[in-house]
Amino acid sequence: MAVDMSEIVGPSNMTATSKEAVIELLSKLPTDARQKRYLYARWARLVGFQARPEDIDRVATWGQQ
């Protein structure tokens, strides 16, 4: 899946220091939990950040729709 993360989270959030802002933005997206979790992990890889399971769960828990 080709995703331009800067279009989703904004160019200014394409740094590891924007983790909290990205978590908040992605958690509010009108999409399912699987997609939100994927997007966070993708963002983390792109900015050179190791995504932690606790942060991924903050973006979306598996029970969310």
Contacts of 37 (CB under 8 A, 6+ apart): 56, 59, 60
Is 58 domain-assigned? yes
Q: What does the pLDDT look like over 20-33, one tens digit per residue?
A: 999 999 999 999 99
Is 10 domain-assigned? no
Which parts of the chain sit beneath pLDDT 70? 1, 63-65
pLDDT of residue 61: 84
Domain that holds residue 26: 19-65
Is 39 domain-assigned? yes
Is 6 domain-assigned? no
Is 59 domain-assigned? yes
Total number of domains in the chain:
1
pLDDT of residue 17: 96
pLDDT of residue 3: 78
Is 5 domain-assigned? no
pLDDT of residue 1: 57
Q: With contact defined as beta carbons under 8 Å apart, do 16 and 48 qualify?
A: yes
Is 32 domain-assigned? yes
Is 27 domain-assigned? yes
